[in-house]
């Protein structure tokens, strides 16, 4: 039987503690403990886009500035399309183009409807 020395025990403990810290760090970065660090980035972008959309709603309903709301929503649409298209692949570019065209049509329809009824 082999003898346990202080050096082998301390090396084993240090290795175990380092692995535990790495595991805990991954869970903390993973967006509430449920995924890779990229998930947290996507959550932050989604929260930013929701906040930007709500600021456009505030501008449209409270400030009665339809032009300002539409420009805010156009900025949000550009950020959203950039997030969809970012790793440039053909399917992502097509998807981003469809989202952009659909979004612009909705913004123009809202702006024309609101300005003609004023």
Q: For the segment 12-34, what is each residue's pLDDT rounded down to a tens digit?
A: 545 554 555 555 554 444 444 45
Give this prediction's pTM: 0.60
Q: How many CB atoms lie within 10 A of CB 50?
A: 11
Summarised one tens digit per residue, pLDDT across range 44-69 is 888 888 999 999 999 888 988 888 88
Best CA proximity match to 102, nearest among 91, 114, 110, 90: 110
Reported as half-sphere exposure (CB side, CA atoms, 13 A), residue 81 has a value of 18
DSSP code of residue 3: P
């Amino acid at each position: 039987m082999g003898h346990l020395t202080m050096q082998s025990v301390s090396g084993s403990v240090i290795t175990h503690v380092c692995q535990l810290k790495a595991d805990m760090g991954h869970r903390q970065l993973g967006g509430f403990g449920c995924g890779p660090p990229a998930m947290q980035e996507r959550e932050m972008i989604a929260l930013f886009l929701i906040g930007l959309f709500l600021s456009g709603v505030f501008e449209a309903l409270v400030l009665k500035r339809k032009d300002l709301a539409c420009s805010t929503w156009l900025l949000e649409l550009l950020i959203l399309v950039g997030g969809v298209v970012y790793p440039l692949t053909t399917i992502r570019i097509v998807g981003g183009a469809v989202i952009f065209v659909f979004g612009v049509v909705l913004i123009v329809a809202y702006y024309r409807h609101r300005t003609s009824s004023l």
